[in-house]
Amino acid sequence: MANYLKMAQVQLILQLKDNGWSNRRIGQELGIHRETVGRYFKLREQQVKRATKGDSSRQEPAESPGEQATYGLSGMALGNSKPAKAPPGSQVDQIKVPPGSTSQCVCYHKTIVSKLQQELSARRIYQDLSIEHNFTGSYYSVRRYVGKLRTTNPLPFRRMECSPGMEAQVDFGTASSIIMPNGRRKRSYVFRIVLSCSRKAYSETVFHQTTDNFLRCMENAFWYFGGVPQIIVIDNLKAAVSKADWYDPEIVPKLQSFCIHYGTAILPTRPYMPRHKGKVENGIKYVKLNALKGRVFNSLNEQNEYLLGWEQNTADKRIHGTTRQQVEKVFREKEKTALKELPAGYFPSFSEARRSVHRDGYIEVDKSYYSVPPEYVGRKVWVRWDGRLVRVFDSRMHQITMHAKIEPGKFKTDDKHIHQHKRSGIEKGAQWLLQRTFLIGTYSHRWAKQLFDIRGVTSQRAILGLLSLSRKYSHKQIENACQKALSHGAWRLRTVRNIIEQDAPSQQMMEFMEEHPIIRGMSDYQDFVENNE
């Protein structure tokens, strides 16, 4: 079976042939036989002759998207076909023009450069050159020339080296499996934090990547280092970032409070950009391959004790491949004293969650219920609680209210959280009711005061009923009734009502009108009756 060259190599052969290279030179350069070079060149000539038979005029490559294209070995379009596009990055685009064969585009260099600055395509540049400057070269010569002008070397990655105590990078990775008491293996995760200057690190394993575990590992690392870095670089793990955004990320509120307590700042990386924290990315690989690979542990404590010893006896003693210095020495001499001081105590332990305010104005925490201001009904709030207190915050983490922790199944209500429209008059007390009777008049107040002195607490409903009479009757009518009740020593609300109803003016009866323009005389009605008998 014959061996065929790939299209890119065939194109390269024909291009070098067009540039004046001999078959032998092409064969030596590409590692093929010179006769193979000649065979492909002859095949191209035969195809061109068949395609141009009967039409000796040169036809430009078709640009209509509806036209069909037929390609020969060289990738050149035959007839009115669309030209083949050379693969980007192929060897044809990278060939240097040999001495003695200068591109026809050199004379139009400034023009081509100016059009490239306008972000025009090679096809558009070829068209403009043909129309405006009578360019006689082919489109492919323009495309190759433009490709060489556009060729740029990629910029090198910038190494970000930090001053001592400035930055630490944090990440999670898969740790060794834990053999559980039932014999099954359980996956664990390794937390690792690396100080960017000295490469001093701390590692700890957990079963779940929760916010509480993340904060506990970070806190243990700070006390292990004996200080706090100014910046913590993390990826966008859910335990720390509730919404990833390079410009304005949403940090979990509990993590924000943690940073305030320790005087540090969290800087999440750009999503899907692991190189932004490359030091800890390599650190995770180092732990997995050097410390944990091939090892099995019976508990998290056993694995963490091993990692602590490995950090002190192996990782800290090594000569780092980038800094070319011992990690422990650089940390002790440069970075440890540059870290910020630790606070007086540990970060307060509390639980945190988002809660919805129910229609009755309460939130549920550990099966207990706590009131919030009425304006938050139907909205979501942040709640933090520990063994003593329950604190409620709005979306901006401003404290709304605070309650003492109560037993499950109980309700804790702050009187300030009950709206005035939802308070009955009896709840407001006798003094409030008596003060309201002053608004009706002096006799009303005296009657209510005497009633309260005689009947005590049971009189509150009667006083409330007296106040409700003002919805139906005027204050003058109520005052007259209370004056009469006082004079007769009547202490029943029913008596006051009867007096008001008796004194009320009787309903006016409409006067019957005997004469009106639309009313007929009685004689007319009499005639109507007699005629219909």
269: domain CATH number is 3.30.420.10
pLDDT tens string 218-246: 999 999 999 999 999 988 888 888 888 87
Q: What 3-state DSSP class applies to 313?
A: helix
Closest by CA to 338, choosing from 151, 162, 126, is 162
**Number of structural domains in the chain:** 4
Q: What end-to-end distance do the CA atoms of the chain give, in Å? A: 132
Q: Is residue 473 part of a domain?
A: yes
Is the separation of the CB atoms in 167 and 278 below 8 Å? no
Residues 86 and 143 in one domain: yes
Q: What are phi and psi of 79, to 5 degrees?
A: 70, -140
Domain containing 402 — which CATH number?
2.40.50
| Residues 46, 121 share a domain | yes
Same domain, 127 and 176: no
pLDDT at 491: 84
Does the pTM of the predicted model rise above 0.75?
Answer: no
Q: Within a domain: residue 508?
A: no
Q: Per residue in 326-340, pLDDT tens?
A: 999 999 999 999 999
Predicted confidence (pLDDT) per residue in 329-381, tens digit: 999 999 999 999 999 888 988 888 889 999 888 999 988 999 999 889 999 99
Mean pLDDT of the residues in the chain: 79
What is the pLDDT at residue 68?
34
* 171 and 226 part of one domain: yes
pLDDT score of 529? 61
Domain range for 408 is: 351-421
278 or 298, greater pLDDT? 298
Q: Are 201 and 305 members of one domain?
A: yes
258 contacts 347 by C-beta, under 8 angstroms: yes
CB 485 within 8 A of CB 495: yes
| Residue pLDDT, tens place only, 142-157 | 988 888 887 655 666 6
Statement: residue 69 has pLDDT above 80: no
- How does DSSP assign 84-114, residue by residue? PPPPTT-HHHHPPPPTT---GGGGGHHHHHH
**Residue 177 included in any domain:** yes
**Is 523 within a domain?**
no
pLDDT at 307 over 90: yes
| Per-residue pLDDT reduced to its tens digit, 77-111 | 333 334 444 444 333 333 333 343 467 888 888 88
Check residue 43 and give its pLDDT: 82
Bigger pLDDT: 101 vs 166? 166
Q: What average pLDDT does the segment 214-220 reach?
A: 93
Please report, for residues 366, 369, 405, 412, the alpha-carbon distance to residue 409 in angstroms, rounded to integers and kept in the order given. Answer: 9, 7, 12, 10
High-pLDDT (> 70) share of the chain, %: 79
Among 277, 267, 273, smallest CA distance to 201 is for 277
By CB atoms closer than 10 A (0-12, 13-18, 19+), residue 463 is buried
Q: 113 and 178 in one domain? A: no
